[in-house]
Amino acid sequence: MRTCPSCGNEVTGRSDKKFCSHYCKSSFHYVKNREDENNLFRKIDGQLKLNRRILKEYNKGGKAMVRIEVLHDVGFDPKYFTSYWKSKGGGVYLFCYEYGFKQMEDNGKQKYLLVQWQDYMN
Ligand SMILES: [Zn+2]
């Protein structure tokens, strides 16, 4: 016996029929989409918070230079940020809330310049 993944009732009819009714089919997909959306939201939200925590941890003095591997090793992911700021010189700083970073080369090594959000960046 096949059971409907939405309501648990028996599914009758064609063997490729998965749900007992159109109603169950659409409500199942509705719930699933909502869960996927929540999962994605939680994943992004969690990564942003982790990024912020890491930037804060490595930037105790308000400005710092750290090798990119050091941050990546503890879970920092530069793809996730909340805003950016473009300096007059054209450099772009990415921010996770009030903590910013900018990738740059220093003595042949890839590093992040860590900064904190300043009032003049508004
Ligand atoms: Zn059903």
Does 34 map to a domain?
Answer: yes
Does 83 map to a domain?
Answer: yes
Low-confidence ranges of the chain (pLDDT < 70): none
- Check if the beta carbon of residue 12 is closer than 8 Å to that of residue 24: no
- Comparing C-alpha atoms, which of 70, 60, 66, 49 is closest to residue 102? 66
pTM for the whole thing? 0.81
Q: How far is the CA of 116 from the centre of ligand 1 (A)?
A: 54
pLDDT value at residue 90: 87
pLDDT value at residue 56: 97
Residues surrounding ion ligand 1 at CB below 5 Å: 4, 6-7, 9, 20, 24
Does 90 map to a domain?
Answer: yes
Q: How far is the CA of 34 from the centre of ligand 1 (A)?
A: 19
- Please give the tally of structural domains in the chain: 1
pLDDT value at residue 121: 87
Domain that holds residue 57: 22-121
pLDDT value at residue 122: 83
